[in-house]
Structure 1
Amino acid sequence: MDTPLPFDGWFNDRPVSTGAATYICGMVAAVGLSVTTVGTGGQMSLERSLYPWHEVSPYHPTLLSETVCNVQENLQHIRNVLKLAVSDVALAFNVTRQAVYNWLNGEAIAESNVAKIEALADAADILQSAGVNVTASHLKRKFAHGKTLLQVSQSGGDVRDAAHLLVQTLAKETSQRARLKSRAHLHVRSVATADFDLPVSSN
């Protein structure tokens, strides 16, 4: 039996990791361990130095690992719901394809991009919860100040609000189509028969 590929084959023939994450994490660790003063230059207190160092630094390996896992899960969720190719994902976050592959490989990621990924994942949740089966035509629609959903994400706009607006727009259109269909059905039923103008029988 074939072994399933992680991330639906996203890792297949992927570009090689740049190795930047290992270097950055090593540098962060070195800096964290070398810090001996805080604030205005005063000596770090013994009490503070005894704290687990992840409470002093936000760059603890566990926190970095959790961030990477969340990014990977959110990217996969976005891809599944919005049916995006890697190039579309890169466009949504205004980065290169290589950057997306690096994120999936566990490379470091800027907080601003983490926030964008979380926001688009939330937007995917909104569409999924509303029962919207996202298609390419949905993603090409310009509705939020003349921008598509992915363009809103690219520009750093509120993609969650854009998703709500898309849901409302689609719901309104569905309601309008239903009313038109109902009117057409009533019109067909009210069409006169061939003998509608014959005099009423006196029998």
Structure 2
Amino acid sequence: MFLSGTGSNYPVRDVNQWRGYVQSKVQFGLLKSETNQDVENEVVDFRTVSDHLNNVRNTLAPSMSELAKDLGITRQALYKWLSGESQPDDIKKASYIVELSRLSDRFNEAGMGNAKLMSKMKAFEGISIIDLIKRGDNWQSAVNLLIEETRNLKEAGEKANLTGSNASPTDGWLSSVSIPGSGVRE
């Protein structure tokens, strides 16, 4: 599959790299290439940069200042991208946003309620999964490890009854002896 009609052809397998750049400039559609029959099951992400940013903000919850700093832009530019008023001109910045959004998707699919904490955990030789994405490293196995470890910790906590007690709450902690110095007796 490829994108055509922009003066160039872009392979679908690289859609996350070029989509943010092309989408704001041209209307496009995807056609299946005659020579590539094995892309039937390929999933293409057609969310806008704004959609990706909202996904990142809702799941990973970075501050706008933090995200703008990571992208090397002003907060005002980031707000324009978030509103859809403008798009990144730099494909690397758009790719970074898309990769953060894909990370958010993985955490959401796994039902991770603590994605912000997990994404910043320095679990990979002293760096976080976000640092892996910043460096352009493959983060797929790292996110799987984080998800698995989170599930294991949750399961261990449940087995050890650390997640809550089955006991009914009582006021048995109140005693007939007052707290020393309080001058109050129950």
Match for residue 61 of structure 2? Answer: 83
Which structure 2 residue ranges, 5 or more long, are not aligned? 10-21, 29-44, 166-186
Match for residue 181 of structure 1? Answer: 161
Match for residue 32 of structure 1? Answer: none
Letter in 1 for 2:131: Q
Match for residue 37 of structure 1? Answer: none
Q: Cα gap change, 1:175/1:81 in structure 2, threshold over 3 Å: closer, same or farther?
A: same
**62, 73, 96: which one aligns with 2:51:** 73
**54, 59, 79: which one aligns with 2:5:** 54
Over the matched positions of the two proteins, sequence identity in percent amounts to 21
Q: Cα gap change, 1:167/1:135 in structure 2, threshold over 3 Å: closer, same or farther?
A: closer
TM-score by length of 2: 0.55
Cα distance between partner residues in 2 of 1:91 and 1:159: 21
**72, 93, 118: which one aligns with 2:98:** 118
TM-score by length of 1: 0.51
**75, 97, 115: which one aligns with 1:97:** 75
Letter in 2 for 1:78: V
Cα distance between partner residues in 2 of 1:87 and 1:78: 14
Q: Which has the higher helix share?
A: 1
Report SS of the residue matched to 1:158.
coil
Report SS of the residue matched to 2:5.
helix
Match for residue 153 of structure 1? Answer: 133
Residue 94 of structure 1, CA deviation: 5.0
Contact kept? 2:96, 2:133, Cα under 8 Å: yes
Residue 120 of structure 1, CA deviation: 1.3
Residue 128 of structure 1, CA deviation: 0.6
Match for residue 48 of structure 1? Answer: none
Cα distance between partner residues in 2 of 1:92 and 1:178: 37
1:162 partnered with 2:142: yes
Cα distance between partner residues in 2 of 1:92 and 1:170: 26
Contact kept? 2:53, 2:97, Cα under 8 Å: yes
Deviation track 1:83-116 (CA, whole Å, cap 9, x = no partner) reads: 2221232244454434423433314422222222
Letter in 2 for 1:148: S
Cα distance between partner residues in 1 of 2:7 and 2:153: 53
Residue 131 of structure 1, CA deviation: 0.8
Contact kept? 1:139, 1:149, Cα under 8 Å: yes
Cα distance between partner residues in 1 of 2:46 and 2:78: 12
Matches within 5 A, 1:14-53: none
**116, 124, 132: which one aligns with 2:112:** 132
Deviation track 1:46-89 (CA, whole Å, cap 9, x = no partner) reads: xxxxxxx93524755325xxx99611111111111112221232
